[in-house]
Amino acid sequence: MKSNSSPIILNTVSDLRAFLTLARGNGKTVGFVPTMGNLHQGHLDLVNKASDMTDIVVVSIFVNPMQFGPHEDFDAYPRTLNADCEALNNHPCDAVFAPTVREVYPKGVNTEIDLPSLSTILCGHHRPGHFKGVATVVTKLLNIVQPDVAVFGNKDYQQLQVIQTMVADLLIPVTIVGADTTREPNGLAMSSRNAYLSAEEKETAAMLYATLKRIGDALRSDSRVSTTLKQEKERLTAAGFVLDYLEIRDAQDLSKSYVEADSAVILVAAKLGRARLIDNLVIELKR
């Protein structure tokens, strides 16, 4: 295993469990990368990271209906299973788990995992129910795969916090690892939703990372951050973004009181055309 050859594609929980029982019987450790498909280099970097830490890697491809709001892009979300499996051919992925909705929610949604303090702020405020859907499906996927290590992107900073907190609270025996954001040459964080952007919008979208870096510089230099934040919000709005938020929080717990924190995270979420984009930058503050 761990050759860069085609992964086996499994659609049912029982087939995946049989595959994993065999692998574990052979003493293999298991890495897991949950995705919603439409894979890009960012996902492939997560696969490589998982493979550095474990013997075999499972990638799940599942567009989770529970994490989409009623007016969000569940139907439009790009589903590209064949291209995704092809992309994984040249990467250290041993199995792709691509279940149906019925396989993951055999009795519909009865049990929900919720972390109200984390899931109602920032993106959770703008996407009510989103993190409940994420936490519930990630719990299911971790129960199905029972990996030693699961890798998530740091780009989804709040999601990673939700998952790390949930895993600690529920004593789930897995190591959660965050991986650096993979960026386009112009700085735009890679995301499946970038597919909604025109070429021109992709250039404009790069402003988000430049904005985070300027605010980071202001934070580091102790200059008037509130003025910088206000100016940066105006600049983004003038460029055509519809801002959900641009905020600085404590990087450890996402609380608003970052001033005394060891590190802060600058988080942005904004709509540009059809795409809702998020990005973040962590700044060490320990002086």
Q: How many residues bind ligand PAF (CB under 6 A)?
A: 10
Chain residues 151-190 in contact with ligand PAF, contact rule CB under 6 A? 156, 159
**Would you state the structure tokens that stand for residue 2, as one six-digit string?**
């761990």
- As measured in angstroms, the least distance from the Cβ of 149 to ligand PAF is 15
| Region from 31-39, 98-106, 222-230, 254-262 binding ligand PAF, contact rule CB under 6 A | 31-39
Using rule CB under 6 A, residue 36 touches ligand PAF: yes
**Would you state the structure tokens that stand for residue 217, as one six-digit string?**
């510089």
Using rule CB under 6 A, residue 137 touches ligand PAF: yes
Exactly one of 35, 51, 139, 158 binds ligand PAF (CB under 6 A); that residue is 35
Instruction: Give the Cα separation of 2 and 56 in Å (integer).
Output: 6
Cβ burial, residue 235 (10 Å; 0-12/13-18/19+): middle
For tokens 């105006």, the residue is 234
Q: Give, in order, the Cα–Cα distances in Å from 180 to each of 19, 43, 122, 153, 183.
A: 30, 11, 21, 6, 9
Instruction: Give the Cα separation of 59 and 85 in Å (integer).
Output: 10
- As measured in angstroms, the least distance from the Cβ of 266 to ligand PAF is 20
| Region from 29-37, 78-86, 101-109, 234-242 binding ligand PAF, contact rule CB under 6 A | 29-37
Catalytic: 71? no
Across 11-55, where does the E strand assignment appear? 30-35
Q: Is the CB of 134 or the CB of 246 nearer to ligand PAF? A: 134
Q: Is the CB of 19 or the CB of 74 nearer to ligand PAF? A: 74
Q: One of 40, 43, 91, 130 is an active-site residue; which one?
A: 43
Sign of CA dihedral 35, 84, 65, 77: positive
- As measured in angstroms, the least distance from the Cβ of 63 to ligand PAF is 8
Using rule CB under 6 A, residue 34 touches ligand PAF: yes
Collapsing DSSP to helix, strand or coil, 35 comes out as strand
Sign of CA dihedral 130, 135, 136, 137: positive
Using rule CB under 6 A, residue 10 touches ligand PAF: no
**Would you state the structure tokens that stand for residue 152, as one six-digit string?**
């998530």
Using rule CB under 6 A, residue 138 touches ligand PAF: yes
Exactly one of 64, 119, 191, 211 binds ligand PAF (CB under 6 A); that residue is 64
Q: With contact defined as beta carbons under 8 Å apart, do 262 and 285 qualify?
A: yes
For the annotated catalytic residues, the residue numbers are 43
Query: Which residues of this chain interact with ligand PAF, rule CB under 6 A?
Result: 34-36, 64, 67, 134, 137-138, 156, 159
